[in-house]
Amino acid sequence: MLWVAILALVMTVAAVAVAGRRALFLFKLATSGPPAPERIEYAKTHVPEELKAQIVEVFGQKKLLKWTPSGIAHFFVMWAFFILLTVYIEAYGAIIQGAITGEPDFHIPIIGQWAVLGFLQDFIAVACLLGLVAFAVIRIKNSPKTEGRKSRFFGSHLGGAWLVLFMIFNIIWTLFLARGAASANGNLPYDSGAFVSIGLGNILPASTLLEEIALLLHIGFMLVFLVIVVNSKHLHIFTAPLNVLFSRRPDGLGEAPEMRIDGKPVDFEDEDLDPEKLGRGKIGDTTWKGFLDFYSCTECGRCQSQCPAWNTDKPLSPKMLILDQRDHAFKVAPYLLPGADTSHAGQDVLALLDKPLVGEDGVIHPDVLWSCTNCGACVEQCPVDIEHIDHILDMRRYQVMVESSFPSEAGVMIKNLENKANPWGMSEMKRADWIEELDFEVEVVDEKLSEDTEYLFWVGCAGALEDRAKKTTKAVAELLHIAGVKFAVLGPMEACTGDPARRLGMEFIFNMLAKQNIETLTEVGAKKIVATCPHCFNTLANEYPQLGGQFEVVHHTQLLAKLVDEGKLVPINPIEEKITYHDPCFLGRHNKVYSQPRDIMSKVPGVQTQEMHRHKDRGFCCGAGGARMWMEERLGKRINTERVDEALTTDPDTVSTACPFCLVMLGDAINEKKNGGQAKESLEVVDVAQLLIRSVKS
């Protein structure tokens, strides 16, 4: 057994050295860019939340288990890695003990002969084998060769995936061979429980040589697998728990990340501000958290399968957005590391180093960058917490503020925000015009909110200035009036929250508008705010705290559902209609408000609700988020048309939603369908509040 111990030791040292060298390289590459101290600080100060995330997402595989059977298969394969660590302790222990005493009958102290452990080892190995079969079937069934763009594996590095499946298969069969041979020789630690190993031991010949060769084969395949893992996409085995640990909680949705330079929040009033550091223009500007995203991508394509841009034949695939950056980073990696000498680099390498992240000849094509609606489907579905939107926003910030390169239509919106504080460029005096259409008075704040005012009603630009959205505004105001809720509006004092500017990448304009609004809200004494626009709601509640604006903010569906539950609003008039509800992305995925709009509709007599195929956390975008509301959609099928096509499959009388952007986008698509004779003339899109006021008013 001595020769086995020597050979095993040599193989182990060699493999660990090769893997360790690669790990050191990956660490140096990840830390070559700007720091991200806020990630470490958050993890340190939110230990319970991070511990829960590890238990639920890493060990519990919550996100993957949403997708069965692939989720179940991955669950067992992943747990095989943990449980079978005990087999390696036994294997190395047997080799060492055999070399010393000549009797390789080693067992782990205390638990090493427990039949339950033996059963778990064999059970999880069998489950792992079945998982490999499931993976193979799924990959064959969803092959890009047959499914094309519909395959979530389209664009993935397929060869590496098959190699890893083959290597795991080799590890499992050699594990059973080694344990079966050990059982035949009387060296297996278990007298019962290990049902496969003991069964094999009953049919295998008693042979010391067979046991030794099987042990070496098993360890050898494991070590080769280790080297492959650290050089492939399966690096996520080690980096995914770290990526989950340093991700934003509860997920990478809601607020856009604060813009930082060298780890510090950007001060736009700083005279020494280096504009070249705004956003991300080159791969070397990526923080270590960004590199963790690169390392953790498993190329599973779940993000791609849910992306509204990809599903409407646009070039954006969230998966390939990450992979293209990762592949480029590895190409130029030797020259990104600290102290790298580029003096002897060839022209090709220097060209790669200077390659912009975004451009016609860049790593990411502009059409990819500007196709994103910020809907969050990619982040919601990613099993390893990659933050795709953060990458997109960082690149947009550089394009907009440094390169001045963005869709021309958005330039008009930016000028209007800068000059008139609303995207349409209308006079601020028009913000209160909708009040004249009501038959009761609405308090418009002059200097301070009245002491008995419970809510400040944040109307928003669309709610005040867009005709279709104004119907929602008036419905909400009337419902609050009926319920006896004292509220007030800012009127001309209200300005755009800055969401379109921030999502476009114009952080400077967002900063300006946000500070102006925070100052106004503070001066008037606003504490509780109700907003009808999910984009305003998200910005006020989640992003203004970055600049010191702390307010209690609710969406109108949350407040109305509460008033209905309390009996202050009583739906009495039946609405005999079949209604399908569209989840606004910034209300649903970004802020997890799914139940309240549905609760309101369920209380309205006569309403029959029918869910679309894609709803709640798998809902499909209307196409207006990410500042796309102010950009032309020239590539592929229009996203709002795709969504309305899905809505029409439910044969609705009405499509309801809870967002002014969705109201406009879905309404436009339905009108097109009506003109083409593909939708009934009576079909309309309304806000949930409009349904409620119809039922409440006698």
**Angstrom distance (rounded) from CA 434 to CA 438:** 7
**Angstrom distance (rounded) from CA 229 to CA 238:** 9
Region label for 655, one of left (φ > 0), alpha (ψ between -120 and 50) or beta (otherwise): beta
**Angstrom distance (rounded) from CA 205 to CA 189:** 18
Going from the C-alpha of 328 to that of each of 115, 157, 291, 324, the distances in angstroms are: 50, 15, 12, 6
**Angstrom distance (rounded) from CA 593 to CA 590:** 8
- Give bridge partners of residue 149 from the DSSP assignment: none
Q: What is the pLDDT of residues 140-154, one digit of tens each?
A: 999 999 999 999 999
Instruction: Of 168, 160, 284, 302, give the one whose Cα is nearest residue 226.
Output: 168
- For the four alpha carbons of 80, 47, 252 and 264, in that order, the dihedral sign comes to negative
Does residue 103 have a pLDDT over 80?
A: no
Q: What is the pLDDT of residue 632?
A: 93
Q: What is the pLDDT of residue 286?
A: 94
Cα-based torsion angle of the residue sequence 185, 188, 190, 196 in order, rounded to the nearest 10 degrees: -90
Q: What is the pLDDT of residues 375-385, one digit of tens each?
A: 999 999 999 99
**Angstrom distance (rounded) from CA 92 to CA 98:** 10
**Angstrom distance (rounded) from CA 566 to CA 208:** 77
CATH number of 421-565, picked from 1.20.120, 1.10.287, 3.40.50, 3.30.70: 3.40.50
Does residue 166 have a pLDDT over 80?
A: yes
> What percent of the residues of the chain are helix, what percent strand, and what percent coil, each to the nearest 5?
60, 5, 35
CATH number of 279-405, picked from 1.10.3470, 1.10.1060, 1.20.272, 1.10.443: 1.10.1060
**Angstrom distance (rounded) from CA 304 to CA 317:** 5
Indicate the domain borders of the chain: 2-30+61-231, 279-405, 421-565, 578-696
Q: What is the pLDDT of residue 387?
A: 96
SS3 labels along 290-335: HHHHHHHCCCCCHHHHHCHHHHCCCCCCHHHHHHHHHHHHHHHHHH
Q: What is the pLDDT of residue 394?
A: 96
DSSP code for 364: B
Pull the structure tokens for residue 540: 């006020």
Which residue is associated with the tokens 């990340």? Answer: 257
Band (8; pLDDT cuts 50, 70, 90): confident
Beta strand spans in 545-673 (E): 552-555, 578-581, 608-609, 654-657
CA angle 248, 250, 252 (to 5 degrees): 45
Pull the structure tokens for residue 681: 């003339």
Instruction: Of 587, 595, 601, give the one whose Cα is nearest residue 655.
Output: 601
Task: Select the more confidently predicted residue: 671 or 107.
Answer: 671
**Angstrom distance (rounded) from CA 639 to CA 314:** 10
Going from the C-alpha of 145 to that of each of 5, 151, 189, 303, 607, the distances in angstroms are: 46, 9, 48, 20, 45
Q: What is the pLDDT of residues 673-687, one digit of tens each?
A: 999 889 899 999 999
User: Within 10 A of 342 (CB to CB), how many other CB atoms are there?
Assistant: 11
Does residue 343 have a pLDDT over 70?
A: no
Does residue 214 have a pLDDT over 80?
A: yes
Q: What is the pLDDT of residues 541-550, one digit of tens each?
A: 999 999 999 9
Using an 8 Å Cβ cutoff, are 514 and 549 in contact?
yes
421-565 and 578-696 in the same fold? yes
**Angstrom distance (rounded) from CA 218 to CA 212:** 10
Q: Are strands 443-444 and 264-265 parallel, antiparallel or unpaired?
A: unpaired
Does residue 511 have a pLDDT over 70?
A: yes
Pull the structure tokens for residue 108: 């782990």
Q: What is the pLDDT of residues 56-85, one digit of tens each?
A: 999 999 988 888 888 999 999 999 999 999
Q: What is the pLDDT of residue 272?
A: 85
CATH number of 578-696, picked from 1.10.3470, 3.30.70, 3.40.50, 1.20.950: 3.40.50
pLDDT, average across residues 518-526: 95
DSSP code for 434: G
Q: Burial-class residue 345 by CB neighbours within 10 Å (0-12, 13-18, 19+).
A: middle
For helices 660-675 and 467-483, angle between their N-to-C axes, nearest 10 degrees: 130
DSSP code for 371: T
* pTM of the complete model: 0.92
Does residue 310 have a pLDDT over 70?
A: yes
